[in-house]
């Protein structure tokens, strides 16, 4: 017998709960332009400036260590730091001047942050594939080990703070930058594991595998940022 009343699937119910959660967050978020919203926007901008300073150091050290050690994954980590810096610049641009309360600027910033994810993936995927195919071995990099260990500790603090502020501001751009910080922390931990494995066990191939993981994660997070799903808030794209 064909049921007269359509049965709702578990996915539909889950989507409904997610929508209700988004609506709750939107209801509790301060309205754009209010004193509380402007305070949060200033904090978001300050965090981006702090991140920008750290990433400048991170990128320089990582790329230098990668060139010396011949590590594709460490090079990818350094380039990722440069692209993260681009996301920080975009958020600073978003919350400066007349763009501060502009919905159009938020949408542009969200899309630009998403594009910054896509800048990383192709280069790293090609270089990692080449390294694995030719059997290029990365040398031990003490500087890379110290840098990635420090990043794995610091970046989650910045990322989680930006995700919370992005949700309060309904800003997918801010949340996207925070997601990049968390992604950088995951990558740092993965690259660290690869460097240690190469140093202790001679597992040179793990460096290329980690680099491919970097490329895949960048594509996934780029797509999430493009559609505005990185903030867990009511910041869906608008026309």
CA distance 67 to 22: 45
pLDDT, residue 52, reads: 94
Q: When comparing pLDDT for 70 and 160, which is higher? A: 160
pLDDT in tens, 5-29: 444 445 544 445 444 444 445 446 7
pLDDT score of 233: 46
pLDDT of residue 48: 95
Identify whether 18 is part of a domain: no
Residue 101 within any structural domain of the chain: yes
pTM of the model: 0.71
Q: Is residue 11 part of a domain?
A: no
> Greater confidence, 93 or 66?
93
Given this model, what pLDDT does residue 14 score? 45
Structural domain contains residue 239: no
The arithmetic mean of pLDDT across residues 38-66, rounded, is: 92
Cα Rg of the chain, angstroms: 20
Range of the domain at 211: 33-226
Does 17 fall in a domain?
Answer: no
Q: 23-27, 89-93, 219-223: lowest mean pLDDT where?
A: 23-27
pLDDT tens per residue, range 31-48: 877 889 999 999 999 999
Domains held by the chain: number: 1
**Would residue 234 count as lying in a domain?**
no
Q: Render the burial of 31-56: b for 16+ CB within 10 Å, e for the rest.
A: ebeeeebbebbebbbebbeebbebbe
| CATH assignment of the domain containing 37 | 1.20.1510
Angstrom distance (rounded) from CA 115 to CA 109: 10
User: Does the pLDDT of residue 119 top 70, yes or no?
Assistant: yes
The verdict on residue 144 lying in a domain is yes
- Residue 187, domain member (yes or no): yes
**Is the pLDDT assigned to residue 232 strictly greater than 60?**
no
Q: How many other β-carbons are positioned within 10 Å of the β-carbon of residue 172? A: 32
């Amino acid at each position: 017998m064909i049921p007269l009343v359509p049965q709702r699937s578990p996915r539909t119910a889950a989507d409904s709960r997610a929508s209700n959660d988004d609506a709750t967050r939107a209801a509790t978020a301060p309205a754009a332009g209010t004193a509380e919203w402007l305070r949060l926007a200033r904090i978001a901008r300050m965090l981006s400036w702090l991140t920008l300073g750290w990433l400048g150091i991170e990128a320089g050290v990582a790329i230098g260590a990668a060139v010396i050690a011949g590590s594709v994954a460490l090079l990818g980590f350094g380039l990722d730091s440069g692209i993260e810096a681009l996301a920080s610049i975009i958020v600073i641009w978003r919350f400066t001047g007349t763009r501060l309360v502009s919905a159009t600027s938020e949408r542009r910033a969200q899309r630009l942050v998403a594009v910054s994810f896509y800048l990383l993936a192709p280069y790293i995927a090609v270089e990692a594939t080449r390294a694995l195919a030719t059997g290029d071995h990365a040398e031990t990099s003490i500087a890379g080990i110290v840098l990635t260990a420090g990043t794995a500790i610091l970046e989650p603090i910045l990322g989680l703070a930006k995700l919370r502020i992005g949700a309060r501001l309904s800003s997918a751009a801010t949340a996207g930058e925070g997601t990049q910080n968390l992604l950088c922390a995951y990558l740092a931990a993965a690259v660290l594991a690869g460097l240690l494995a190469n140093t202790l066990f001679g597992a040179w191939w793990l460096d290329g595998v980690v680099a491919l993981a970097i490329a895949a994660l960048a594509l996934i997070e780029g797509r999430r940022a493009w559609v505005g799903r990185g903030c867990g808030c009511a910041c869906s794209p608008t026309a």
